[in-house]
Amino acid sequence: MEGGWRSLITFRGAERRGTMMMLGILSFIIVLVLWWGAAALKLLPPQYLPSPGAVVVRFYDLLVKYGFIGDIGISIFRVWTAFLISAAMAIPFGIMMSSFPIVNGMSQSLIDFIRYLPVPALVPLTIIWLGIGEASKIALLWLGTFFQLVLLVADDARRVPREYIEIGLTTGAKPRHILGSIVLPAMLPSMVDNLRITLGWCWTYLIIAEIVAADSGIGYVIMSARRYVKTDEVMAGILAIGIIGLATDQAIRWLHRRWFIYLT
């Protein structure tokens, strides 16, 4: 046991799942204690820094009295719709970029140009082109996700050892068979990790997407509360996003361990 704890402070030391979970819980406890202490000492007025208990009570009230669960469901739908569309487009296109120089040459610079554009700057164009309905909100989430994900997928495909591909060519396999039977399975573990990370990015654009003439969603609740300086409600909305993100991330990590058990 002592050796296990010692490995935590050793460079590139071994990570034990149970120990790492305990450390994760400890970090949350430390943050809550610091937050509670700052609120108790009134480093800021309660209107601007409510206590953890006040935020939890407000979160409960939003769920029970104000139908916040519906806003959560709408936001989850928007994020997952945009994310799945991004993944369905980025995975094949990223593999093509890594496989055919002509595809990479024609798309790399354009993708680099677009991915550096700040998504808020694209809000006016999105409204002009798509209106103020669901399409514009999902499009903004897609814009913040697709152009990052496609490059990550392309890099995953490039990391597949060339020897694997040469073996496939030696056996007479055609390019489509090599991509489907060799490249995709070999890149799958790292690609799932990148999908998990990109899903987190997609959530970070939610507030921007739900500014666009929204009347529902977590972002709408947060922005409405900000307008009336309801800090506890703002923090309750942030808490909801954090809980959803943490639960989703842990679920994908668990699936990753189950699907790719040979890597552990």
Q: What is the DSSP string of the chain?
A: -HHHHHGGGSTT----HHHHHHHHHHHHHHHHHHHHHHHHTTSS-TTTS--HHHHHHHHHHHHHHS-HHHHHHHHHHHHHHHHHHHHHHHHHHHHHHHH-HHHHHHHHHHHHHHHTS-GGGGHHHHHHHHTTSHHHHHHHHHHHHHHHHHHHHHHHHHTS-HHHHHHHHHTT--HHHHIIIIIHHHHHHHHHHHHHHHHHHHHHTHHHHTTSS-SSSHHHHHHHHHHTT-HHHHHHHHHHHHHHHHHHHHHHHHHHHHHTGGG-
Q: Are residues 145 and 33 in the same domain?
A: no
Please indicate, yes or no, if residue 141 is contained in any of the structural domains.
yes
Identify the pLDDT of residue 13.
57
Please indicate, yes or no, if residue 27 is contained in any of the structural domains.
yes
Identify the pLDDT of residue 79.
96
Please indicate, yes or no, if residue 99 is contained in any of the structural domains.
yes
The tens digit of pLDDT for each residue in 84-143 reads 999 999 999 999 999 889 999 999 999 999 989 888 888 888 888 988 888 999 999 999
Identify the pLDDT of residue 189.
92
- As for how many domains the chain has, the answer is 2
Q: Are residues 150 and 205 in the same domain?
A: yes
Please indicate, yes or no, if residue 14 is contained in any of the structural domains.
yes
The tens digit of pLDDT for each residue in 127-175 reads 889 888 889 999 999 999 999 999 999 999 999 988 888 888 888 888 8
Please indicate, yes or no, if residue 52 is contained in any of the structural domains.
no
Identify the pLDDT of residue 75.
95
Please indicate, yes or no, if residue 50 is contained in any of the structural domains.
no
Q: Are residues 131 and 67 in the same domain?
A: yes
Please indicate, yes or no, if residue 51 is contained in any of the structural domains.
no
Q: Are residues 26 and 129 in the same domain?
A: no
Structural domain span for residue 117: 57-263
Q: Are residues 25 and 86 in the same domain?
A: no
Q: Are residues 37 and 61 in the same domain?
A: no
Q: Are residues 23 and 148 in the same domain?
A: no
Average pLDDT over residues 12-24: 72
The tens digit of pLDDT for each residue in 209-248 reads 888 777 889 999 999 998 888 999 999 999 999 999 999 9
pLDDT band at 10; cut points 50, 70, 90: low
CATH of residue 77's domain is 1.10.3720.10
pLDDT band at 1; cut points 50, 70, 90: very low
Identify the pLDDT of residue 55.
95
Identify the pLDDT of residue 154.
95
Q: Are residues 161 and 34 in the same domain?
A: no
Q: Are residues 31 and 87 in the same domain?
A: no
The yes-or-no verdict on residue 192 having pLDDT over 50 is yes
Q: Are residues 19 and 66 in the same domain?
A: no
Q: Are residues 103 and 165 in the same domain?
A: yes
The yes-or-no verdict on residue 4 having pLDDT over 60 is no
The yes-or-no verdict on residue 262 having pLDDT over 80 is no
| Average predicted confidence (pLDDT) for the chain | 89
pTM higher than 0.85:
yes
The yes-or-no verdict on residue 14 having pLDDT over 70 is no
Identify the pLDDT of residue 165.
87
Q: Are residues 195 and 152 in the same domain?
A: yes
Please indicate, yes or no, if residue 250 is contained in any of the structural domains.
yes
